[in-house]
Every structure is written in C-alpha cells, then in structure tokens.
C-alpha cells in the first residue's frame, strides 16, 4: 500500500517520506529448462530513486482486520507514530516483514516536516494473549443427519452472503477460503491457532458490527469448492466464539539517525548500500545486466540466466556480497535482497535462485 493513499491530518507534526510504490513484477516468463537452475536479478524502481524516496515508510497494512476498514484506521496509527514517536499494533506490524541479512523488516524511515531530521522505524515484538471474538469454519466429513444447512445454488462454491453486511460477507469469504485451504493442504483445521484458523476481531474490527457473533445466523453450510485438490462437495460448520488468542504485539519506535539530507545519504550508504556502481567501474556486460534488471519496456523488470552464470553476472553478485549464496538442501527457490547505488541513484535488488522445473 503506497503512502500516497493516506492523507494525514494537519495536526500531524511529522510526515511520511514521499515514497515510490514497489514496482509490480510479473511472473517469470517461459519455462525452466530441465535440470537447469534459473538465476534472476530484479531492480526497482526503473529509473532509480534518491535515498529519501527509496527508504520511505510504506505501511504494510495487509492483515485481515486492517484490510476490512477504511484508511482512517491506518492513518490514525501513522499519526500516533508521527506525533508521539511510537505506536503499537496487534498481529501484524506496520513495517513490511522480510527476513534478510539486515533483520526481519524492510528498512523504513520518516522525515520531520519542519526540518530534515530523519528517523528509522524500529520494531520490537512480544507474544501476548488476548480475549477476542473469533469466527471460523470447521470442515466436516459430512453433514449431520437432518441438519439444516445453507447453500447458494447460483454460486455453489461459496457460502451464501446475500443477506449479510459487507463486513460479514468478507468474513465468511475469508473463513471459508481458510477452511478449504486446510482441506487441500491436508491440515487438521481445528488444531490451527486462531489467527490462522479464521478471523479474529482485533481492533478496529468490532464484534458489535457483526451478526456472526455471539450467535451465528446459521450452523452448517454445503459448498462445491473449486480448484486443484478440492473435493466435489464440502460440509462446513460455522463457529463464533470468544477465546484466549495467542498473538503478537508489535511496538514501533522512531529512532533518529540523521539531521540533514546529506547526513541521511551517509547513513543509508553506511547501513544499507552494498556497493556503489558507476559507468567507469562497470564493464559493458555488467552495465547491460543492471540496465535489463530495471527495464520493463519489453516485459518484467528482470535479468535472467540459466545453467552456468556468466562472468559478468558473477562479478555483480560478488560486488553485492551474494557470490556465495546458494539454496539450502531441500529448497527449490530462494531470494536475497540488496541495495545498491548506480550513478547517484539508489535501487533495491532482489536476487532469486530457482530449481523449479
């Protein structure tokens, strides 16, 4: 979700660094040759960015309880972070999670509105248990004898939602999809922890806005799910209950790192940039690889080699500190991220290895 979607109030003392949305990258074209490994480099944005743009905080409001409300909720979290220097969230952080050499989160910064003070968003987490209402679907082998159930003749793959509110329709769709996924994955759905079993009413979801709790409007449903590995019919039981939910509390704190644009550039180079490329230090072959990795004019922004890598590809990997990376035993795909500077512009690079045939 791009920061441009959030219109912060006039009382907000801080502002988001103007961000560039992550480039949408299409799926890999073509098929992997049998027995060969595919190596892919992808750089974003296409024309590079300055440090302020590339390392902007882009709120990662992707949890169900965050997605089902308007932007005001996430905006209020951002306002609190800007005004007080800290904010807490439940179940999902505001900063995008991504395990890499630098930590568990994408490096994210905000900038003071009045001057040029830059702060990094630090995230700490702790496990917590909270009493919350939960809604989930239990997959059944079959419906009980003489059970009353709902079905949707016009859309048999879904639980009927015609008479439900928009929120309840979204919840029913979510919990049904989650239950079907467990059946396809041969998982014991009732053994999953609540956040993975269905929908938990974390803030700002309010159980008072739903007719699914405390008494569900129906008990049983029969659907005809679609997709690979799904049964022809699936009986479901709807649950709405209050439970002790084990989840995670994320504490976000602004940590000052620089008080000028030049100082922020120095900080980024020191903390995040793996290498500074330039036309004078790159061979023609290396320059072509970097250019293609960020070029979307004829397809996805990526550069791909299969089998044995070229010398130029290996040189770039060495400069990025990725020359010794490899898939672990049993892995078929892996990704590593690096930041680099090229002719005074900053890029995020994703290096991907795939053994999928």
Beta bridge partners of 220: 149, 237
Q: Three-state DSSP class for 272? A: coil
pLDDT in tens, 322-352: 999 999 888 899 999 999 999 999 999 999 9
SS3 138: strand
Average pLDDT score over residue span 286-307:
92
Residues 58 and 169 in one domain: no
The last residue of one of the domains, among 213, 248, 283, is 248
65 and 203 part of one domain: no
Clarify whether residues 68 and 147 are in a common domain. no
Do 177 and 285 reside in the same domain of the chain? Answer: no
Question: Does the pLDDT at position 305 exceed 50?
Answer: yes
Q: Report the C-alpha gap between 251 and 134 in whole angstroms.
A: 24
Instruction: Indicate whether 139 and 106 sit together in one domain.
Output: no
Q: Determine the pLDDT at residue 68.
A: 62
pTM summary value? 0.80
Same domain, 275 and 291: yes
Q: Rounded distance, CA 328 to CA 305, Å?
A: 20
Examine the domain organization and report whether 299 and 309 are in the same domain: yes
> Which domain, by its residues, includes 49?
3-22+30-127+249-354
**Which of 194, 215, 248 delimits the end of a domain?**
248
* The residue to which tokens 């080699």 are assigned: 305
Condensed to tens digits (0 to 9), the pLDDT of residues 49-79 reads: 999 999 999 888 677 787 766 678 888 899 9
Last residue of a domain, one of 248, 265, 282: 248
- Same-domain pairing of 187 and 333: no
Neighbours of 347 (CB within 10 A): 23
Domain co-membership, 14 together with 56: yes
34 lies in the same domain as 68: yes
Percent of the chain exceeding pLDDT 90 equals 73
Q: 160 with 232, same domain? A: yes
Report, as an integer, the average pLDDT of 173-184.
96
- pLDDT band, very low/low/confident/very high, at 15 (cuts 50, 70, 90): very low
Domain count, the chain: 2
Residue 14 reports pLDDT greater than 50: no
321 and 190 both lie in a single domain: no
The arithmetic mean of pLDDT across residues 209-229, rounded, is 95
List the strands of the sheet with 345-354, edge to edge.
273-277, 333-342, 345-354, 38-49, 303-306
């Amino acid at each position: 979700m791009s920061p441009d979607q959030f219109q912060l109030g006039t009382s907000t003392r801080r502002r988001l660094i103007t961000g560039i949305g992550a480039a949408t990258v299409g799926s890999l074209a073509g098929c992997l040759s049998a027995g060969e490994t595919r190596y892919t480099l992808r750089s974003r944005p296409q024309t590079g960015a300055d440090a302020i743009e590339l390392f902007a905080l882009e709120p990662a409001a992707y949890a169900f309880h965050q997605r089902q409300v308007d932007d005001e909720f996430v905006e209020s979290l951002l306002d609190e972070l800007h005004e007080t220097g800290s904010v807490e969230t439940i179940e999902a952080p505001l900063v995008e999670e991504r395990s890499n050499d630098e930590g568990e989160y994408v490096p994210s910064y905000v900038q003071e509105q009045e001057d040029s003070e830059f702060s990094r968003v630090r995230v700490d987490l702790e496990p917590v248990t909270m009493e919350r209402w939960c809604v989930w679907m239990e997959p059944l082998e079959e419906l009980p004898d003489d059970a009353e159930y709902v079905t949707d003749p016009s859309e048999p793959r879904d639980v009927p939602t015609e008479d439900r509110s928009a929120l309840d329709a979204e919840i029913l769709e979510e919990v049904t999809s989650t239950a079907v996924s467990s059946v396809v994955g041969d998982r014991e759905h009732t053994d999953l922890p609540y956040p993975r079993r269905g929908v938990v009413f974390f803030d700002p979801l309010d159980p008072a806005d739903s007719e699914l709790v405390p008494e569900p409007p129906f008990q049983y449903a029969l659907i005809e799910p679609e997709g690979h590995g799904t049964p022809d019919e699936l009986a479901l039981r709807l649950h709405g209950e209050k439970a002790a939910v084990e989840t995670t509390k994320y504490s976000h704190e602004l940590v000052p790192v620089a008080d000028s644009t030049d100082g922020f550039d120095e900080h980024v180079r020191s903390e995040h940039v793996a290498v500074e490329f330039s036309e004078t230090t790159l061979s023609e072959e290396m320059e072509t690889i970097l250019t293609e990795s960020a070029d979307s004019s004829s397809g996805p922004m990526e550069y791909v080699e299969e089998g044995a890598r070229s010398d130029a590809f290996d040189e770039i990997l060495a400069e990025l500190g990725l020359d010794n990376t490899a898939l672990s035993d049993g892995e078929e795909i892996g990704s590593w991220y690096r930041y680099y500077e090229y002719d005074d512009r900053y890029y995020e690079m994703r290096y991907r290895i795939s053994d999928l045939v």
